[in-house]
Amino acid sequence: MNEDKNVKLEDALRRIEEILKILENEKIELEEALLLYEEAMNLIRLCEEKIKFAKMKIEVILKNGENLKSVKLEEASKFIKNGK
């Protein structure tokens, strides 16, 4: 799985888990281990971007919603429970 903006977050996370298992449990050559490590790091960056985008999207939704105010994602659950 290459770094691809169209990869779903869940698929990327699954692939990262697969790579970790291979690196932890299998005897592999250094070159293959480096390639797997590089793939995992690219997928981690991709996941970070997708999560960051999702956070921004939630903040925009909260900001633009009727009778809602903009809050940081960490405060969103309190905001939703209390409706304030």
Q: How far is CA 50 from the centre of its chain?
A: 5
Contact residues for 50 (Cβ-Cβ < 8 A; gap 6+): 9, 12
What is the pTM assigned to this prediction? 0.68
Q: pLDDT tens digits for 16-66?
A: 999 999 999 879 999 999 999 999 999 999 999 999 888 888 877 766 665
Q: List the one residue out of 59, 60, 64 whose CA is nearest residue 76.
A: 59
